[in-house]
Every structure is written in C-alpha cells, then in structure tokens.
Amino acid sequence: MQWVEDRLRELADKDGQYREFNARVVATADPATMLGVRVPKLRRLAREVSRSGDRDAFLAELPHRWYEEYLVHAFVLNETSEVADAVRLLDALLPFVDNWCVCDALNPRAFHNEKALGGQQQEVLLPLAQRWMASEHTFTRRFGVSILMRDLLGEGFHPSQLRLAVAADNGEYYVRMMIAWYLAEALVPHEEDALEAIASSELDPQLRRMAIRKGIESLRVPAETKDALRRLRR
C-alpha cells in the first residue's frame, strides 16, 4: 500500500533521534527498515487502515518493507473479532516477525472475546499456544508463550501450562525472556504453582535467574513473594 508508506514518511520524526532510539531498543530489526514513527501515531494510522477499503489488501501484502508497517499490521490485526480470522492472519504474519516489539504488540481482540470463544478459552487457545510454542521460529515461539500469559492466567489457567512454557525453552534469549516474564506474572494470581515452577529442577539455571529477576522487579508481586524469590536465588 503506497499510501500507507507515504503516511508513515509524513508521520516520522524529522530529526532521526527516535529512529536511532528504536534501532538500539529493537535490536534484532534492521535499522535500515526503520522510519522513526512513534507508537501513538502508528495506532492512529492503523485505525485509518482499518476503516479504509484497503484493510484486507494491506494485511495480505507480506512481507512489508518497513518495521513500522509491521506494527501497523499488528494493530490492525488486533481488531479482528473472530478467532478463525485472527489465527489465519497470525499464521501469515508470524514467520516475518523478526523482533520482540512487533511480536509483543500482537494481542488479538478475538482471544479476549468470550462470545467468539464460546466459553471455552482453554480449549480454544491452549492448542494454538502449543502449536506456536513448537515453532522453530524464535518470535512465533515467543508469541505462543505470550498467549499463556495474556489469555490463560485467569479462568483458563491450569498448573500444567507452567510446565508447557518451561518446555518451550530452546535457549533463545527472546524466548527465554518471555518465559521468564510469564513465570513472574503467574506469581500474582498463582503464587504457589509459579514458585514451584521457578524452583523446579527442570528449569534451566539461567532461565530461573531471569524469572526471579523479573519477579523481584515487578510492582505487582507482593513483598513476601519477592523474599521467597530471593531465597531461591541464594
């Protein structure tokens, strides 16, 4: 979509500082693909795309040229309200995702839609998470773990999901960071199960340290739980 690229160029910061900042923070994306557009502007552009007659054509236009196009793509995809449509669009996009920022921006409305899920959140989403966690592609695997964290820590939770996340560890830094984040988030609603998972001998020592650090840094984890994490660290 040439008009989307034209709009991105219009919205880019002119001094290049934000582009340089992004290049440092989003380390695995090619800096040459970055224009330097701030996220609030990308969200507004995504609404333009969603309301236009070009929405489907834009989502089908893969691979994109620009890093920011992938973020706009993610924000447009997130508005999808039907599970089957969201899964189809995710399966098309995920192989092209090469950084944590676009990966973590993916959060489809359909996965939070009780009507679309038919009251079967775990039954629908857990197999999808498992399939994506089995991928050889780093950011597809990371996205699979994010489903456990964002969508299945509530009523759809079962302690076995913690073991599934640990089993997704393939040694890749960005996969491990998501697993560590998930374990830390699980400490809030499911403290006992999460502490057991973090203490498990099945957990790689480096991943354990990452999860403990995430938990201690979290503003949501209670002080007494952080004390337990420090004891585990020692």
Q: What is the pLDDT along the chain (234 residues), one digit of tens a residue?
A: 899 999 999 999 999 999 999 999 999 999 999 999 999 999 999 999 999 999 999 999 999 999 999 999 999 999 999 999 999 999 999 999 999 999 999 999 999 988 888 888 899 999 999 999 999 999 999 999 999 999 999 988 999 999 999 999 999 999 999 999 999 999 999 999 999 999 999 899 999 999 999 999 999 999 999 999 999 998
Same domain, 60 and 84: yes
Is residue 101 assigned to a domain? yes
Same domain, 79 and 165: no
Is residue 233 assigned to a domain? no
> Which of 119, 141, 173 is the last residue before a domain boundary?
119
> Which of 91, 119, 147 is the last residue before a domain boundary?
119
Is residue 234 assigned to a domain? no
Q: pLDDT value at position 132?
A: 98
Same domain, 175 and 113: no
Same domain, 140 and 221: yes
Structural tokens at position 185:
């988030």
Same domain, 63 and 33: yes
Is residue 164 assigned to a domain? yes
Segments forming the whole domain that contains residue 145: 126-228
Q: pLDDT value at position 234?
A: 84
> Which of 119, 141, 169 is the last residue before a domain boundary?
119
**How many distinct structural domains can be found in the chain?**
2
Same domain, 183 and 198: yes
* Per-residue pLDDT tens digits for 87-141: 999 999 999 999 999 999 999 999 998 888 888 889 999 999 999 999 999 999 9
Same domain, 1 and 93: yes
Structural tokens at position 12:
């880019």
Is residue 35 assigned to a domain? yes
Is residue 115 assigned to a domain? yes
Q: What is the DSSP letter of 189?
A: T
Same domain, 97 and 145: no
